[in-house]
């Protein structure tokens, strides 16, 4: 069977972590995989999670299967967080949630759901998270791309994006990043989100909003703007939600597919299809992360602690952006990296060629994802000068 099976190269993002770990240089900098890092470069378990885990473990009486839609309490808690407790999307029953194995699991389930329900195509803005393409095409979808980002202007190319989106019709799906665009850090403005919502209403395409960084751009309510606006204005929306970054639950694989239907009855029907697809694949998601999230969000003290910790993480990434901008300015790079300070979330895309990315890695131990994506969490007071030195050297070579 496997005599001729080809050995594949490592994953372009996850493979970089291994290369970094194997690098013996002490001044090396990891700007690769999208995990939060504190000043010492560590990714600690959040205090709210530690306490919630203790509560969950103490209360646990069985390891018997959880319900098909995930840990009890998880779905309603995520819906409250995303839409706001008083939302009429929730009181009308138009929204339903299915817990999934991480944001990737949610995307794959969404992809299979769309494929089985007859989606004609799924359109992505270019560039997008490198795993979107293999993941969604593995679900059987036909993918198209439209321009999203202007690498010369280091910002959203909204005219080009809109021109691409204007060609979509009923049965087409448009993938959008809820906030903290990965890999560019360049989000649509509120006015631009409103324009895309109007286009969806007029043209009939279905938005699929990937929400992996909820709470990292401005705050939990502001970051849910796109989801809330689209759900209020449109009959149908899908959201793929990840608890990896905002709850720091990366390895617990905790996420959700959120379905907004034209009515409670339509949402329930689509949810039943998603559950049936999950049953044919992994049966049900791992319970632990969902139990932890439900515990945090249902306990006012834990919820407050979690919100404070999330704010602290988001503030730190924002201050790292300013630190990089200031250091670049002071090192004679003038405004070349000033766009980084205005962007949102963990990532920005540095204007680097693949050769320059290689020079930064090989000569300076600075690890950057292909295409130029940097994770700002990896920048700190100690390493920022080395980073800027490497950038200057690579871009003048």
User: CB 36 → ligand LMR: shortest distance, Å?
Assistant: 11
User: CB 170 → ligand LMR: shortest distance, Å?
Assistant: 31
Give 54: exposed, middle or buried? Use CB within 10 Å, 0-12, 13-18, 19+: exposed
Beta-carbon contacts of 304 under 8 Å, excluding residues fewer than 6 positions away, are none
Decide whether 14 or 330 has the Cβ nearer to ligand LMR.
Answer: 14
Residue whose tokens read 């945090």: 296
| Residue of 31, 34, 185, 186 that binds ligand LMR (CB under 6 A) | 34
Give 361: exposed, middle or buried? Use CB within 10 Å, 0-12, 13-18, 19+: buried
**Number of residues counted as binding ligand LMR (CB under 6 A):** 6
Q: What mask of x and - would describe binding to ligand LMR in positions 130 to 169, judged by CB under 6 A?
A: -x--------------------------------------
306 is catalytic: no
H or E segment to which residue 241 belongs: strand 237-242
Decide whether 120 or 133 has the Cβ nearer to ligand LMR.
Answer: 133
Instruction: Give the residue closest to ligand LMR by C-beta.
Output: 34
Write out the two tokens for 153: 């202007």
Question: 65, 99 in Cβ contact below 8 A?
Answer: no
Instruction: Select which of 30, 69, 157, 210 is catalytic.
Output: 210
Q: What value, to the nearest 5°, has the Cα angle with vertex 34 and ends 114 and 245?
A: 75
| Residue of 13, 109, 124, 359 that binds ligand LMR (CB under 6 A) | 13
Give 118: exposed, middle or buried? Use CB within 10 Å, 0-12, 13-18, 19+: exposed
User: CB 348 → ligand LMR: shortest distance, Å?
Assistant: 13
Write out the two tokens for 113: 């759901």
User: CB 304 → ligand LMR: shortest distance, Å?
Assistant: 27
Binding status of residue 303 toward ligand LMR by CB under 6 A: no
Decide whether 131 or 303 has the Cβ nearer to ligand LMR.
Answer: 131
CA dihedral 280, 286, 289, 293 (to 10 degrees): 50
Q: What does the alpha-carbon distance between residue 58 and residue 44 come to, in Å, rounded to a whole number?
A: 22
Q: What does the alpha-carbon distance between residue 370 and residue 5 come to, in Å, rounded to a whole number?
A: 26
Identify which of 34, 344, 314, 316 has the alpha carbon closest to the alpha carbon of residue 179: 344
Decide whether 105 or 290 has the Cβ nearer to ligand LMR.
Answer: 105
Strand partners for 121: 172
Site for ligand LMR in 93-122 (CB under 6 A): none
Decide whether 20 or 129 has the Cβ nearer to ligand LMR.
Answer: 129
| Residue of 74, 129, 230, 367 that binds ligand LMR (CB under 6 A) | 129
User: CB 216 → ligand LMR: shortest distance, Å?
Assistant: 12
Rg (CA), the chain: 21
Beta-carbon contacts of 102 under 8 Å, excluding residues fewer than 6 positions away, are 242, 244, 253, 254, 255
Instruction: Select which of 30, 69, 129, 172 is catalytic.
Output: 129
Q: What does the alpha-carbon distance between residue 85 and residue 253 come to, in Å, rounded to a whole number?
A: 25
User: CB 12 → ligand LMR: shortest distance, Å?
Assistant: 9
Instruction: Select which of 30, 172, 223, 245 is catalytic.
Output: 245
Decide whether 34 or 70 has the Cβ nearer to ligand LMR.
Answer: 34
User: CB 217 → ligand LMR: shortest distance, Å?
Assistant: 15
61 is catalytic: no
23 is catalytic: no
Beta-carbon contacts of 114 under 8 Å, excluding residues fewer than 6 positions away, are 122, 139, 141, 173, 206, 208, 238
Decide whether 129 or 225 has the Cβ nearer to ligand LMR.
Answer: 129
Decide whether 168 or 357 has the Cβ nearer to ligand LMR.
Answer: 357
User: CB 32 → ligand LMR: shortest distance, Å?
Assistant: 7
Alpha helices, DSSP H, located in 174-299: 190-203, 225-233, 264-279, 288-298
Site for ligand LMR in 178-237 (CB under 6 A): 182
Count the helices and strands in the chain (H runs, E runs): 15, 13
Give the binding site for ligand LMR (CB under 6 A). 13, 33-34, 129, 131, 182
Q: Catalytic residues, which ones?
A: 129, 210, 245
């Amino acid at each position: 069977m496997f005599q001729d099976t080809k050995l594949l190269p490592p994953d372009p993002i996850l493979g970089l972590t291994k290369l970094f770990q194997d690098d013996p240089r002490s001044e090396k900098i990891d700007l690769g995989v999208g995990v939060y890092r504190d000043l010492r470069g560590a990714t600690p378990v959040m205090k709210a999670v530690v306490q919630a885990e203790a509560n969950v473990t103490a209360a646990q009486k069985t390891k018997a299967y959880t319900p098909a839609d995930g840990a009890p309490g998880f779905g309603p808690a995520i819906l409250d967080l995303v839409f706001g407790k008083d939302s009429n999307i929730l009181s009308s029953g138009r929204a339903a949630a299915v817990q999934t194995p991480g944001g990737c699991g949610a995307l794959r389930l969404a992809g299979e759901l769309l494929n089985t329900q007859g989606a004609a195509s799924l359109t992505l803005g270019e560039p997008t998270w490198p795993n979107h393409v293999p993941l969604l095409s593995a679900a059987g979808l036909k993918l198209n791309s439209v321009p999203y980002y202007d690498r010369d202007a280091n910002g959203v190319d909204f005219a080009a994006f809109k021109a691409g989106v204007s060609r979509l019709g009923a049965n087409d799906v448009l993938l959008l990043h809820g906030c903290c665009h990965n890999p560019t850090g360049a989000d649509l403005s509120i006015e631009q989100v409103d324009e895309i919502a109007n286009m969806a209403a007029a043209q009939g395409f279905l938005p699929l909003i990937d929400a992996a960084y909820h709470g990292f751009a401005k705050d939990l309510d502001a970051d849910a703007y796109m989801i809330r606006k689209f759900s209020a204005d449109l009959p149908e929306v899908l959201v793929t939600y990840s608890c990896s970054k905002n709850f720091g639950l990366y390895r617990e694989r905790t996420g959700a597919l959120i379905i907004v239907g034209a009515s409670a009855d339509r949402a329930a029907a689509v949810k039943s299809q998603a559950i049936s697809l999950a049953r044919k694949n992994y049966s049900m998601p791992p319970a632990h992360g969902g139990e932890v999230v439900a515990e945090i969000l249902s306990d006012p003290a834990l919820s407050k602690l979690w919100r404070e910790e999330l704010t602290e993480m988001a503030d730190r990434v924002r201050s790292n952006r300013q630190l990089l901008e200031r250091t670049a300015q002071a090192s004679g790079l003038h405004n070349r990296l000033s766009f980084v300070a205005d962007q949102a979330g963990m990532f920005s895309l540095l204007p680097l060629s693949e050769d320059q990315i290689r020079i930064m890695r090989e000569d300076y131990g600075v690890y950057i994802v292909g295409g130029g994506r940097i994770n700002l969490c990896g920048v700190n007071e100690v390493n920022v000068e080395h980073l800027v030195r490497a950038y200057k050297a690579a871009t003048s070579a």
